[in-house]
Amino acid sequence: MFLARMNMAGLRPDHDVLDIGCGVGRVARYLCAYLYPSVRYEGFDVMDAAIAWCQENITPAHPNFGFTATPVLNTAYRTDPSLPDAATFRFPYDDASFDFVCAQSVFTHLLPESAENYVREMARVLRPGGISCTTWLWFNDSGYSHPFTEPMERHDTYAVLNPEIPEAAIAYQEDAMRKMFGTGGLVIDGEYPGYERIQDLCVAHKP
Ligand SMILES: C[S@@+](CC[C@H](N)C(=O)[O-])C[C@H]1O[C@@H](n2cnc3c(N)ncnc32)[C@H](O)[C@@H]1O
């Protein structure tokens, strides 16, 4: 389903792709069959074991698929407080390296300053005209809220499911997300509400 959503966003098989918070390769395993072997796919994640699994099970058969462990603090996924902060983390890739950047169910685990930084970093690593395809949980003042947000504790521009582990699940006011993209240097092309287990989707591009 996410591959279909990425296609709708403009993904082509000749795109160099960055997969933020790639986990155990749930997206990568489909992109293996979709992307041309000549293009570059990179995934990174804070969980070492997930990255090791991808390196051992995906890269040998698809050498153009690279995976990098990026130990960064996350109160749900990587809890060592001595780790660097996601709010200042620089993605380990050069400027303008990718045509397409995706993050499935990752901004739903980032607090506002980290989410702002990740949008800025997406803009930095995308080539001009490059596309970002990211999932979120939204609520807005016009009456829409993703069903997952209903039990959440509302703060100003965001809401959390568990205040003790805020990054376990985070929703954003839709306007706050739009502001992040505007200040981060990406232009939103489409917002597609989800339902039940399907998260809300934001498609944007770098001018
Ligand atoms: C719900 S999982 C989604 C994984 C994958 N995108 C998928 O769709 O299967 C959230 C992922 O985000 C990763 N993550 C959490 N904080 C992160 C951060 N600051 N930078 C990169 N990845 C992060 C987690 O380790 C986890 O793999």
Residue-level pLDDT at 197: 87
User: What would the pLDDT profile of 32-50 be if each residue is shown by its tens digit?
Assistant: 999 999 999 999 999 999 9
Residue-level pLDDT at 148: 95
166 lines ligand 1 (CB under 6 A): no
Ligand 1 centroid – CA 90 distance (Å): 16
- The closest-lying atom of ligand 1 relative to the alpha carbon of residue 50 is 27
User: What would the pLDDT profile of 177-191 be if each residue is shown by its tens digit?
Assistant: 999 999 999 999 999
| CATH code for the domain in which residue 184 is found | 3.40.50.150
Task: Quote the number of domains for the chain.
Answer: 1
User: What would the pLDDT profile of 50-67 be if each residue is shown by its tens digit?
Assistant: 999 999 999 999 999 999
DSSP string, the chain: -HHHHHHHHT--TT--EEEET-TTTTTHHHHHHHS-TTS-EEEEES-HHHHHHHHHHTTTT-TTEEEEE---BBTTTB--TTSPBTTTPPPSS-TT-EEEEEESS-GGG--HHHHHHHHHHHHHHEEEEEEEEEEE-EE-TTS-B-GGGTTSEE-SSEEES-TTSGGGSEEEEHHHHHHHHHHHT-EEEEEE--BTTBPEEEEEE--
**Structural domain harbouring 39:** 2-205
Residue-level pLDDT at 168: 97
Report residue 196's pLDDT band, with 50, 70 and 90 as the boundaries: confident
Average pLDDT over residues 157-182: 97
Report residue 202's pLDDT band, with 50, 70 and 90 as the boundaries: very high
Ligand 1 centroid – CA 46 distance (Å): 7
Query: Which protein residue has the closest C-alpha to ligand 1 atom 10?
Result: 106
